[in-house]
Chains A and B, each alone.
Chain A
Amino acid sequence: MSFNGPIEESFPTPADIDRSTVSHLQKGYKISARKLPISKSGTIDEMEKKLGIPVPEMIFGGNMVSIEHVTTGWRLEFNAYDALDRVDKTDRNMLKVAYSQEWSSSRFDGVPFSHDPANVLSREKTHEGIKEIVKPFDWSYTTDYKGTITGKPFELQKDNENPIPIELLKRPDPILFFEEVVLYESELDDNGISLFSCKLRVMPDRMLLLCRLFMRLDGVLIRIRDTRIYVDFNTGKVIRDYTEREDAFDKVKQALLSSGRLPNDLTIALRDPNQISHLVPEVSHTLESLTLP
Chain B
Amino acid sequence: MSDLDRAIAQLRACRPIPEAQVRELCHKARELLIEEGNVVTVKAPVTICGDIHGQFHDLMELFRVGGDVPDTNYLFMGDFVDRGFYSLESFLLLLCLKVRYPDRMTLIRGNHESRQITTVYGFYDECLRKYGSANVWRYCCEVFDYLALGAIVLGASTALEPSKQNVPASAASTQDDVDSDIEIEVLSHDGSIIQKFPRGKARGLIGQNNSAAKRSSSPAAKTGPPGTGASGWSRGSTGSSSGAVLCVHGGLSPLIDGVDKIRLLDRKQEVPHEGAMCDLLWSDPDEIDGWGLSPRGAGFLFGADIVKVFNHANDLSMIARAHQLVMEGFKEMFDNSIVTVWSAPNYCYRCGNVAAILELGEDGMGESAHARSNGDVNRSDGGIMKENERVLLAGPARRYRVFQAAPQDSRGMPAKKPVADYFL
Q: How far is the CB of A167 from chain B (nearest CB, A)?
A: 10
- Given contacts A130-B300, A189-B296, is CB(A103)–CB(B273) below 8 Å? yes
Identify A7's interface contact among B195, B300, B324, CB under 8 A. Answer: B195
- In the complex, are the beta carbons of A6 and B422 less than 8 A apart? no
- In the complex, are the beta carbons of A37 and B295 less than 8 A apart? no
Identify A36's interface contact among B112, B210, B261, B352, CB under 8 A. Answer: B352
- In the complex, are the beta carbons of A102 and B273 less than 8 A apart? yes
Answer yes or no: A114 CB below 8 A from chain B CBs: yes
Answer yes or no: B418 CB below 8 A from chain A CBs: yes
Scan residues 168-200 of chain A and give those whose CB is less than 8 A from a CB of chain B.
169-170, 172, 175, 178-180, 182, 188-191, 199
- A7 to chain B: which residues have CB within 8 Å? 186, 194-195, 206-207, 328, 402
- In the complex, are the beta carbons of A118 and B261 less than 8 A apart? yes
CA distance A3 to B402 in the complex (A): 11
- In the complex, are the beta carbons of B301 and A191 less than 8 A apart? no
CA distance A61 to B299 in the complex (A): 27
Q: A3-37 CB contact bits vs B (8 Å, 1 = yes)?
A: 11011100000000000000000000000000011
Q: How far is the CB of A115 from chain B (nearest CB, A)?
A: 9
CA distance A103 to B354 in the complex (A): 34
Identify B293's interface contact among A114, A130, A191, A210, CB under 8 A. Answer: A130
Scan residues 39-58 of chain A and give those whose CB is less than 8 A from a CB of chain B.
39-41, 44-45, 57-58
Question: Which of B42-50, B119-127, B213-221 sits within the interface?
Answer: B119-127
- In the complex, are the beta carbons of B352 and A4 less than 8 A apart? yes
Tally of contact residues, B, Cβ under 8 A: 70
Q: How far is the CB of A281 from chain B (nearest CB, A)?
A: 18
Q: How far is the CB of A95 from chain B (nearest CB, A)?
A: 8
Residue of B nearest to A103 (CB): B298
Q: How far is the CB of B304 from chain A (nearest CB, A)?
A: 14
Answer yes or no: A127 CB below 8 A from chain B CBs: yes
- In the complex, are the beta carbons of B286 and A134 less than 8 A apart? yes
- A99 to chain B: which residues have CB within 8 Å? 273, 298
Q: How far is the CB of B343 from chain A (nearest CB, A)?
A: 14
- In the complex, are the beta carbons of A190 and B111 less than 8 A apart? yes
Answer yes or no: A258 CB below 8 A from chain B CBs: no
- In the complex, are the beta carbons of A37 and B296 less than 8 A apart? no
CA distance A8 to B197 in the complex (A): 13
Question: Which of A78-86, A135-143, A151-159, A284-292 sits within the interface?
Answer: A135-143
Answer yes or no: B238 CB below 8 A from chain A CBs: no
Identify B264's interface contact among A44, A106, A117, A210, CB under 8 A. Answer: A117
- Given contacts A131-B293, A134-B286, is CB(A119)–CB(B275) below 8 Å? yes
Scan residues 83-132 of chain A and give those whose CB is less than 8 A from a CB of chain B.
91, 94-97, 99-100, 102-104, 106-107, 113-114, 116-119, 122-123, 125-127, 129-132
- A122 to chain B: which residues have CB within 8 Å? 254-257, 261
Identify B296's interface contact among A127, A131, A182, A191, CB under 8 A. Answer: A191
Tally of contact residues, A, Cβ under 8 A: 72
CA distance A3 to B328 in the complex (A): 10
Answer yes or no: B369 CB below 8 A from chain A CBs: no
CA distance A57 to B324 in the complex (A): 8
Q: A210-248 CB contact bits vs B (8 Å, 1 = yes)?
A: 100000001000000000000000000000000000000
Identify A102's interface contact among B261, B274, B294, CB under 8 A. Answer: B274
Scan residues 198-216 of chain B and give those whose CB is less than 8 A from a CB of chain A.
206-207, 209-210
CA distance A58 to B279 in the complex (A): 23
- A201 to chain B: which residues have CB within 8 Å? 420-423
Identify A97's interface contact among B124, B265, B298, B352, CB under 8 A. Answer: B298
CA distance A62 to B171 in the complex (A): 33
- In the complex, are the beta carbons of A199 and B207 less than 8 A apart? no
Scan residues 89-122 of chain B and give those whose CB is less than 8 A from a CB of chain A.
111-112, 117, 119-121
Identify A40's interface contact among B112, B327, B347, CB under 8 A. Answer: B327
Q: How far is the CB of A133 from chain B (nearest CB, A)?
A: 5
Scan residues 280-316 of chain B and give those whose CB is less than 8 A from a CB of chain A.
282, 286, 288, 290-301
Residue of A nearest to B405 (CB): A1
- In the complex, are the beta carbons of A39 and B274 less than 8 A apart? no
- In the complex, are the beta carbons of A133 and B292 less than 8 A apart? yes
Kindly list 15 other residue pairs between chains A and B, CB separation below 8 angstroms, not including A8-B195, A103-B278, A130-B290.
A3-B354, A6-B188, A7-B186, A38-B351, A100-B297, A103-B298, A107-B274, A130-B291, A134-B295, A134-B301, A169-B424, A175-B422, A180-B418, A189-B294, A199-B418
Give me the interface of A with B, judged by CB distance under 8 Å: 1-4, 6-8, 36-41, 44-45, 57-58, 91, 94-97, 99-100, 102-104, 106-107, 113-114, 116-119, 122-123, 125-127, 129-137, 139, 166, 169-170, 172, 175, 178-180, 182, 188-191, 199, 201, 208, 210, 218, 264, 267-268, 274
Give me the interface of B with A, judged by CB distance under 8 Å: 111-112, 117, 119-121, 124-125, 128, 186, 188, 194-195, 206-207, 209-210, 254-257, 261-262, 264-266, 273-276, 278, 282, 286, 288, 290-301, 324-328, 331, 346-348, 350-354, 382, 402, 404-405, 418, 420-424
The 6 tightest CB contacts between A and B, nearest first, are A37-B352, A100-B297, A96-B297, A134-B292, A178-B420, A103-B298
Q: List 30 A-B contacts (CB under 8 A).
A: A6-B195, A7-B206, A37-B353, A38-B353, A45-B209, A58-B325, A91-B295, A99-B298, A103-B278, A104-B298, A116-B264, A118-B261, A118-B265, A119-B255, A122-B254, A130-B291, A132-B292, A133-B292, A133-B294, A134-B288, A134-B295, A134-B301, A166-B424, A172-B422, A178-B418, A178-B421, A182-B350, A189-B296, A190-B117, A267-B125
